[in-house]
Chain A
Amino acid sequence: MGYDAGRFDVIVVGAGHAGVEAALASARMGAETLCLTLNLDTIAYMPCNPSVGGPAKGIVVRELDALGGEMARNIDKTHIQMRMLNTGKGPAVRALRAQADKFMYQNEMKKTMENTENLTLRQGMVERLLIEDGVCKGVVTKTGAEYHASAVVLTTGTYLRGKIIIGELSYESGPNNMQPSVNLSYHLQELGFQMVRFKTGTPPRVNSKTIDYSVTEIQPGDEVPRAFSYETTKYITDQLPCWLTYTSPETHELINGNLHRSPMYSGMIEGTGPRYCPSIEDKIVRFNDKPRHQIFLEPEGRNTEEVYVQGLSTSLPEDVQRKILSTIPGLEKAELMRAGYAIEYDAIVPTQLWPTLETKNVEGLFTAGQLNGTSGYEEAAGQGVMAGINAALKVQNKEPLVLDRSEAYIGVLIDDLITKGTNEPYRLLTSRAEYRLLLRHDNADLRLTEKGYEIGLIPQERYDRFAEKKEKIKQEIERLEHVTVKPSPEVQDILQGAKSSPLKEPMTAATLLKRPEITYDVIAQIHPSETPVDEVIAEQVEIQVKYAGYIDKQLAQVDRMRKMENKKLPADLDYGAINGLATEAKQKLLEVRPLSVGQASRVSGVNPADISILLVYLEQGKLAKLAR
């Protein structure tokens, strides 16, 4: 039956956005890594929208970059346009978003993987895991190849028992009619994993040549060159626009008239869909007072006529989809190239994971991406890089890397998943982060480069450049704190020009910069630095000085949070034996098995009274005795 196909340090199953980051991180850290995928032509494939980034997600991409991940660099090389969103709001919520050329994105990523040392790329369908004494020792493919390893990372996306549904039609399939992975899901259940069934969907694609753009609004990219990676120096200037149109009253009428044919309403779909990304039929039923919905037309690439119809995600029958298109201004004659569909898939309940993304059930087995109940390329990639890092660290017998909620959106994402679980596909939102003023897109490198460097994912040369930048920021802030601005006529003139009130008495440049209308440029005009700083440093200085009050408040909150995080709990604590804990708390704590009092306090159903009781036991040194 089986044959020995070789030995690796780490095996990554899947080459989607989670898989590629996991494999690259592991290989770059020096672990011999095998990446197995169902199809080598769909590496880093984007089955849904051709875009990367946006609020919260865009910050994850930058965090990935600071940790040595690939998504930022790859999209910088392959986008068709980029925009900075939320520019009218504060620095904490600004976010970059790129429209991808999804084909170039795939090709570029494949090339990068093929050229990475220690990384073997191979096609194959993994059907089961090799388990010895509860420890994962490798994988077995459909063709009987047995690969051995010290750690395995599963990133199966939406392929596990995938089922596509279009109207009355449904069939077993991965995304975009690719092969689903069926046996692996059953195997995971046999191993004792609790699974959930989730659902997501995608809109139709239409032929660009058949769109009447003249009745739509143009959505160009920013004129200022943008990039996700802190390392990118070559910018793409030749950008393609997107287009905006709206549904019409006829669209709504048509959908209402065909609801009986929608699998969402006929009961055919059992999976839980995401609230934040509803299908068009959902939008029209739930928000029936909204007269029209936005439809963005997004090119799928430079060398294709396919256009993604964002906002029209649907599982209505194909004939209805065609009719819907004809009711939308600009799409009256649009030719449907691929129909939209809903897809159901199995995911594992993520509270079964440690903060390292290693499963509690099976040592040496890590999971990442949509398999863990998330949605979105960026969420997948963020988990992927962490799973890859921790798999490699485990193989190398090193301390794991866990990011906390104040360090990264990736930390928020993973902590939410493993502590609270999720009952719908999880999407990152800025409001999920309690310290979002600290988790800005502009300071992701300041937050994480050090960590990336320590684990060996950031090369020395890059680290030196980063250290220099950090030093310059520090020096410039110090300078502004010591330079005094006097109420001279010249200064008052400059202030008047900046629409700021005149100075009554001297103040430091830093104090002046705290005024909302005063930018770093105004300060530089009054008191230029002897060694002028570049834009990036100027921006950083301005943000850190201007919002110092708010930032300090959040830092104080972080300090308090850390104290609770530093109170460690044994993983095998027998909560059932602790008197005084509420029954619900006992059950939840036994399920989640938090590693710190801080994490325990975030478990739903555990209240402060229970936390106090845990603290008392901790102080009494009784916890050790209760460990099973």
Chain B
Amino acid sequence: MEYDTITAISTPMGEGAIAIVRLSGSEAIQIADSIYIGKKSLKEVESHTIHYGKLIEPKTGEAVEEVMVSIMKGPRTFTREDVVEINCHGGIVSVNRVLQLVLNNGARLAEPGEFTKRAFLNGRIDLSQAEAVMDLIRAKTDRAMNVALNQMEGRLSKLVGKLRQTLLETIAHVEVNIDYPEYDAEEMTHSLLNEKLTYVKREVDKILTTAQQGKILREGLSTAIIGRPNVGKSSLMNALVHENKAIVTDVAGTTRDVIEEYVNVRGVPLRLVDTAGIRETEDIVERIGVEKSRKVLKESDLILLVVNHNEPLSQEDENLFEAVKGLDVIVIVNKTDLEQEIDMNRVKELAGRHPVITTSLLHEEGIDLLEEGIAQLFFQGGIESQDITYVSNSRHIALLQQTIHHIDEALNGIELNLPVDMVQIDITRAWEILGEIIGDTVSESLIDQLFSQFCLGK
């Protein structure tokens, strides 16, 4: 609805060392202040000033992130409402933590383009031709709907649908007890509710950890560098680690001793994986055969296949290409500082739709192109789709976490022995939120609420 406090990540992913989480609405400053520790309370500072401080988890006091916070009071802002911009470290992990913190403390995730919409509705932007804007809205909605439909067929959608069904059955059970108290249906007891909710919570937790994006966020894209001996795999790894500061994070599942293998390439966290990693893969195909190595390589999210510019393609190289068919691959032709002996046409032929990048790791040439290639592959190119992909993922995670929040509230209510109809308020909310993820249109077309007119974070 209108005029509550909305938030979103307003910088594009994959660029720059910093990212901005923006809030707009009457409670923007209060929400920011509730998670901020600095010299002064944000409520007391002048408008249009910027402040250094730390974000904390208010419940535990744990520090989350070093930030710069800009305070801009309405109406002299983009939306004409109070606006807060939190500048934090770039990259998916840190910026998502900040977003999550803001969401958990009273803001609502903005619909795509909602900042612009508010600016428009508050009369900040004078659009003389409203019709043109309307056409734009409609066109974008239709395109976004296609994305939604694709996702609806996905695995996430199936799992969420199943959980919604469980919740719905539970809700219906509670309702029948309320509306038909004398009907001889089994009473939905607290212990029965507890059981159902614990199950749903566990499953949502699982989705959060195993859904592709959740996996990327928590662990980074698992990345294998493969190639014959002496093509420059170690140099490539060093170059990537060197160029990009390692991600220092205490995200669950990462341990200190493997932390050097995490790199952040233009906002995409990569995990240079051990299993199909450097040393073992030297002769992986020879050792275990194409089929088996394929299986191993399939577990990687991204494969960097390195070949030597200075040598003709060998059978071994061809085997490697065969082994990675159908996977997400970037082909790197290294050692351009040396004579060309490789048949580039054949390389491109073998690479097919995969990008081919030439580098001289020795002279630090071409690394930019590689990074660009990685970012593009992750964001599937094109700024448009980049936004949508990112938006929906970010929404999914936020929504799944909100689901858990409401299930926790419900479980808490059960613990406190609150009446079942109170507990149900949160169960229903959890059900609705899960519905927003899959854009279930059965109850009042949430699909458009999810994928509405504008692009997020503008």
Q: List residues of chain A with CB under 8 Å of any chain B CB.
A: 55-56, 85-86, 88-93, 294, 296, 429-431, 436-437, 516-517, 547, 550, 553-554, 560-561, 563-564, 578-580, 582, 602, 604-605, 607-609, 612-613, 615-617, 619-620, 622
Which of A437, A517, A617, A619 contacts B422 (CB under 8 A)? A437
Instruction: State whether B135 touches A580 (Cβ < 8 A).
Output: yes
Closest to A606 in B: B445
Excluding A430-B175, A605-B445, A612-B453, 4 further A-B contacts by CB distance (< 8 Å) are A90-B422, A430-B421, A437-B422, A564-B2
B-side contacts of A582, CB under 8 Å: 138
Closest to A310 in B: B182
Known contacts A517-B417, A550-B422, A564-B2, A620 near B130 by CB under 8 Å: yes
- The 10 A-B pairs with the shortest beta carbon distances in the complex, nearest first, are A580-B134, A90-B419, A607-B448, A560-B1, A607-B445, A90-B421, A85-B181, A93-B178, A608-B448, A609-B448
Known contacts A437-B425, A619-B123, A620-B130, A56 near B179 by CB under 8 Å: yes
Which of B123, B184, B422 contacts A294 (CB under 8 A)? B184
- In the assembled complex, the Cα of A56 lies from the Cα of B183 at a distance in Å of 16
Please list 29 pairs of residues, one from A and one from B, whose beta carbons are closer than 8 Å in the complex, sorted by A's number.
Answer: A85-B182, A86-B181, A89-B420, A91-B419, A92-B421, A92-B422, A93-B178, A294-B184, A516-B417, A550-B425, A561-B1, A563-B1, A564-B1, A564-B2, A578-B134, A579-B131, A580-B138, A602-B444, A604-B444, A607-B445, A607-B448, A608-B111, A608-B449, A608-B452, A609-B453, A613-B137, A615-B2, A615-B121, A616-B120
Q: How large is the interface on B (under 10, 10 to 19, 20 to 34, 35 or more residues)?
A: 35 or more
Interface 1/0 per residue, B125-146 and A, CB below 8 Å: 0000011011101100100000
Q: For residue A37, give the distance in angstroms from its CB to the closest CB of chain B.
A: 32
Q: Is B195 an interface residue (CB 8 A)?
A: no
- In the assembled complex, the Cα of A186 lies from the Cα of B453 at a distance in Å of 46
Instruction: State whether A616 touches B138 (Cβ < 8 A).
Output: no
Q: Which of B134, B135, B175 is the most central at the interface, judged by chain A CB atoms within 10 Å of its CB?
A: B134
- In the assembled complex, the Cα of A605 lies from the Cα of B448 at a distance in Å of 11
- In the assembled complex, the Cα of A474 lies from the Cα of B183 at a distance in Å of 38
- In the assembled complex, the Cα of A217 lies from the Cα of B340 at a distance in Å of 96
Q: Is B54 an interface residue (CB 8 A)?
A: no
- In the assembled complex, the Cα of A547 lies from the Cα of B177 at a distance in Å of 21
A-side contacts of B2, CB under 8 Å: 560, 563-564, 615
Q: For residue B168, give the distance in angstroms from its CB to the closest CB of chain A.
A: 12
Instruction: State whether B179 touches A55 (Cβ < 8 A).
Output: yes
Q: For residue A225, give the distance in angstroms from its CB to the closest CB of chain B.
A: 20
Q: For residue A217, give the distance in angstroms from its CB to the closest CB of chain B.
A: 11
B-side contacts of A553, CB under 8 Å: 425
Q: Is B447 an interface residue (CB 8 A)?
A: yes
A-side contacts of B117, CB under 8 Å: 612
Interface 1/0 per residue, B167-182 and A, CB below 8 Å: 0000000010111111
- In the assembled complex, the Cα of A579 lies from the Cα of B445 at a distance in Å of 20
Which of B133, B177, B417, B420 contacts A616 (CB under 8 A)? B133
Q: Which of B3, B4, B138 is the most central at the interface, judged by chain A CB atoms within 10 Å of its CB?
A: B138
Instruction: State whether A613 touches B420 (Cβ < 8 A).
Output: no
- In the assembled complex, the Cα of A41 lies from the Cα of B336 at a distance in Å of 104
B-side contacts of A550, CB under 8 Å: 422, 425
Which of B121, B137, B178 contacts A619 (CB under 8 A)? B121
Which of A429, A554, A617 contacts B175 (CB under 8 A)? A429
Q: For residue B6, give the distance in angstroms from its CB to the closest CB of chain A.
A: 12
Q: For residue B107, give the distance in angstroms from its CB to the closest CB of chain A.
A: 14
Instruction: State whether B178 touches A89 (Cβ < 8 A).
Output: yes
Q: Is B251 an interface residue (CB 8 A)?
A: no
- In the assembled complex, the Cα of A620 lies from the Cα of B3 at a distance in Å of 18
Instruction: State whether B418 touches A90 (Cβ < 8 A).
Output: yes
Which of B134, B179, B418, B444 contacts A579 (CB under 8 A)? B134
- In the assembled complex, the Cα of A170 lies from the Cα of B261 at a distance in Å of 82
- In the assembled complex, the Cα of A604 lies from the Cα of B134 at a distance in Å of 21
- In the assembled complex, the Cα of A604 lies from the Cα of B416 at a distance in Å of 38
Instruction: State whether A430 touches B178 (Cβ < 8 A).
Output: yes
Which of B121, B137, B175 contacts A431 (CB under 8 A)? B175
A-side contacts of B177, CB under 8 Å: 89
- In the assembled complex, the Cα of A296 lies from the Cα of B182 at a distance in Å of 10
Instruction: State whether B130 touches A622 (Cβ < 8 A).
Output: yes
Instruction: State whether A55 touches B137 (Cβ < 8 A).
Output: no
Instruction: State whether B182 touches A616 (Cβ < 8 A).
Output: no
